Structure 1
Amino acid sequence: MKYLKLIRYQNLLMLAFMQVLFRYAFLKQQNIPLALTDWQYGLLVLSTVLIAAAGYAINNVFDVATDTINKPQDVVVGKGITEAAAYNIYIALNITGVAIGFYLSNVIMRPGFAVLFILIASLLYFYSTTLKQIMVLGNIAVALLLSASVLIIGVFDLFPATDSQNRAQMASFFSILTDYALFAFMINFIREIIKDIEDVDGDYNQGMNTLPIAIGKSRAAIIALVIAIIAFILLLLYINAYFVENNLFIVTFYAFAFVLAPLLYFIVKIYGAKSQKDFHHLSTVLKLILLFGILSIVVIALNIQYNA
């Protein structure tokens, strides 16, 4: 169990679930050619999960001091797992994940795409050692990495199967993946700010310069609120333009009930949030919004299938 906590297995399961969902609940239902076979796509998911697991492992190594204050129950490095063992796990996971990425890049005859896996692995290490201590920049980096896990599906499964005959069709599906990547970025960026507010005591003791440390918890919460309102308005406009205008009533109901309503709840609740427990609750709400937002792809796919 200590090794599973080291790599944050719950987050990895959600990442894998998201990637499997996009392919088998959406892309596979659209009668379009895909570049990877089922087992090769499984390798893509595995590669993504391994590199993310390596990122969590190295982050836990550098987070021992802050987690001892903020989340002592989550500390595993030095309490069951030695630092040397954690480093070895990090190296093994990264090498395996990047090696699979190299293989898949050659499978689709785009060897240059292997750079993506190296860049993601490098950014995760750079985040743990440097970026997380820089105001806002670390939050952006984490949010971008989650978006990349959505876009990489299009890069490896759609783009190589695109030709002159299906270019417009494939572009529309890639556009949908891009929309979800932007959604994931917005929600995860807000969540990272909330997590910084939640962890402000431990981060302050370690000399970090996160947003709540630089401008205070209340001002950071206001910034998270403003971004959440912007996200709410953008989602409302998106739902109206793509769901309401096309008479996708079931998708519209789902989006309002499971994405917009919880986001509105977050906007209301952040006004009175003061304690670490309050911000932890808000972080969980955002995680659920992200999950339900991703699950909406199933509702969209079913709607397309039965109304085609």
Structure 2
Amino acid sequence: MNYLKLIRYQNLLMLAVMQLIFRYGFLELQNIPLALNHWQYCCLVLATIFIAAAGYIINNIFDVETDNLNKPENVIVGKFISETKAYSLYIGFTVIGVAIGFYLSNVINKPSFASIFIIIAATLYFYATSLKQSLLIGNFIVALLLSFSVIIIGIFDLFPITNEENRPVMGLIFGILLDYAIFAFIINFIREIVKDLQDVEGDSNQEMSTLPIVLGANRTGKLVFVLSFIPVILIVNYINSNLFSSGLIYGTLYGLVFTLAPLLYFTTKMWLAKTTQDFHHLSTVLKWILFFGILSIVVINLNIKYNACN
């Protein structure tokens, strides 16, 4: 169980489910060819999971002192798993993830794409060792890497078989993936700031330059409150322009109940949040908003097909 905690298996499971949703709840329902077969797509998911797991491991190695103050019950390295073994696991997971990426890049006849996995792995290492201590840079990188886990689907499954004839259709579908990637980036960027609010005491003792330390927890909380209106406005506009106006009633109701309503709940609670427990709760709320937001692509696609049948 300690090894599962080390790689934060819940987050990895959620990441895998999200990528599977995009393939089997969206791309497979479109009348388009795909570059990867089922086995190869599973390899893409595995490459993502292995590299992400390596990122969590190296982050845990360098976060021992901070976590001893913020979340002592979650400290694994040095308590249950030695630092040497943790480093070995980090190297092993990274090598496997990059190797799978190299294999997939050659499968689609784009060997240079293997560099994507190397860059992601290197970015996660530098994030853990130095970048996360910089003001907002760490938050931006984590949010960007999560959104890229959506974009990489288009890079490996759509781009290799895009030609002049199918470019408009492929462009439209890639654009939908990009919309969800932007949604994932915004939600996760806000969540990373909320997590900084949750960990402000330990981060301050480690002389890190997170936003709550620079601005103060109260001002940062109010800033997050303001930032939370960005996804609210975007979701309202998306539901009105793409779902309600198109007669997608089930998609509209899903968006209102499972995405917009929780966002409004988060915004309201954010204004009142003061304690570590409050910020932990709000961080969890954002995680579920992200998951149900991604899941909406299945509901919308099924609603489109239902309308077409009628």
Alignment of 1:1-308 (within 5 A): 1-308=1-308
Residue type matched to 2:21 in 1? L
Shift of the alpha carbon at 1:304?
A: 2.3
Shift of the alpha carbon at 1:112?
A: 1.1
Contact 1:68 1:75 in 2 (8 A): yes
In the alignment, the residues of structure 1 paired with residue 15 and residue 271 of structure 2 have an alpha-carbon distance, to the nearest angstrom, of 30
Contact 2:248 2:304 in 1 (8 A): no
Residue type matched to 1:262 in 2? P
In the alignment, the residues of structure 2 paired with residue 112 and residue 147 of structure 1 have an alpha-carbon distance, to the nearest angstrom, of 21
Shift of the alpha carbon at 1:105?
A: 0.5
SS of 1:109 mapped into structure 2? coil
Which 5+ residue runs of structure 1 have no aligned equivalent? none
In the alignment, the residues of structure 2 paired with residue 54 and residue 178 of structure 1 have an alpha-carbon distance, to the nearest angstrom, of 25
Q: For this pair of structures, how many residues does the alignment match? A: 308
In the alignment, the residues of structure 2 paired with residue 25 and residue 266 of structure 1 have an alpha-carbon distance, to the nearest angstrom, of 27
Deviations along 1:173-194, one digit per CA (max 9) or x if unpaired, are 1001000000000000000000
List structure 1 segments (4+ residues) > 4 angstroms apart after TM superposition.
none
Residue type matched to 2:289 in 1? I
Shift of the alpha carbon at 1:167?
A: 1.0
Residue type matched to 1:119 in 2? I
Shift of the alpha carbon at 1:306?
A: 2.0
Residue type matched to 1:259 in 2? T
Residue type matched to 2:187 in 1? I
Contact 1:251 1:300 in 2 (8 A): yes
In the alignment, the residues of structure 2 paired with residue 220 and residue 115 of structure 1 have an alpha-carbon distance, to the nearest angstrom, of 36
Shift of the alpha carbon at 1:28?
A: 0.5
SS of 1:35 mapped into structure 2? coil
TM-score (norm 2): 0.98
Shift of the alpha carbon at 1:305?
A: 2.0
Shift of the alpha carbon at 1:246?
A: 1.1
Residue type matched to 1:19 in 2? Q
Identity %: 62
SS of 1:209 mapped into structure 2? coil
**RMSD, aligned α-carbons:** 0.8
Which 5+ residue runs of structure 2 have no aligned equivalent? none
Deviations along 1:225-279, one digit per CA (max 9) or x if unpaired, are 1111122112211211111221111111110111010000011111111110011
Deviations along 1:82-101, one digit per CA (max 9) or x if unpaired, are 10110000000001100110
Contact 1:29 1:305 in 2 (8 A): no
Residue type matched to 1:306 in 2? Y
Shift of the alpha carbon at 1:307?
A: 2.5
SS of 2:79 mapped into structure 1? coil
In the alignment, the residues of structure 1 paired with residue 244 and residue 301 of structure 2 have an alpha-carbon distance, to the nearest angstrom, of 16
TM-score (norm 1): 0.99
In the alignment, the residues of structure 2 paired with residue 104 and residue 303 of structure 1 have an alpha-carbon distance, to the nearest angstrom, of 33
Shift of the alpha carbon at 1:29?
A: 1.0
Residue type matched to 1:113 in 2? F
Contact 1:66 1:202 in 2 (8 A): yes
